[in-house]
Amino acid sequence: MGQIVFRRLRAGLAALLWTMALVGGLYALDRSLWGERPIAGWQLVSSLDDAAKHVGPIHAPALLPQRFAWPPKQIWVNAETQGWWLEVAARDGVPVLLISGQLASPPAMKAMTGCLRGDCPPEWRSRSRLGQNGKRVFVLVRGTELELERILRGLGH
């Protein structure tokens, strides 16, 4: 009786191991053929290099006014739509600049989406231009018209 139970357990374990190996092999084949699936929705990444892995090159200004702290305080990416948002803070930590690669925005930036269409709070200004890849880049700045112009020029590098 004990040998019968042992044989059945051994056969069941062997079947389980073969099933796991088959599933693992199929998953590895799928990932090698099709690559990793993008993460759905907006996600916060830690650096511009990480962002570029998800959405390709990011348009960063070549020159910023002195009061702006670089690198960006927050970097949001959406691999599905190839969208990105950069939030740059002043040296005192207050957000003063947003640069975006699309009109859609992550939940944390929803309040500023209207500004992309010209409905900005009193201190903010917005404008857009075509980037080097032919896609529109949106710039929102809490500051002067002159600062906005300089940043837009810096995006043309």
Say whether both 33 and 55 belong to one domain: no
pLDDT at res. 90: 86
Cα–Cα distance for residue pair 37/17, rounded to 1 Å: 27
Residues written for the chain:
157
Taking residues 2-31, report their average pLDDT: 86
pLDDT above 60 for 157: no
Residues 28 and 61 grouped into a single domain: no
**Banded pLDDT at 20 (limits 50, 70, 90):** very high
84 and 64 both lie in a single domain? yes
Q: Rounded to the nearest 5 degrees, what angle is found at the Cα of 144, between the Cα atoms of 100 and 141?
A: 15
Q: Tell me the CA distances in angstroms from 61 to 93, 127, 143, one per residue in order.
A: 19, 14, 16
Q: Does the reported pTM lie above 0.85?
A: no
Residues 17 and 83 grouped into a single domain? no
The pLDDT, as a whole number, for residue 18 is: 94
Q: What is the rounded distance in angstroms from the CA atom of residue 128 to the CA atom of residue 144?
A: 15
Domain that holds residue 143: 43-155
Domain count, the chain: 2
Query: The tokens of 115 are what?
Result: 């500004």
Q: Would you give the end-to-end CA distance of the chain in angstroms?
A: 80
Average pLDDT over residues 24-51: 81
Average pLDDT rounded to a whole number, residues 99-124? 80
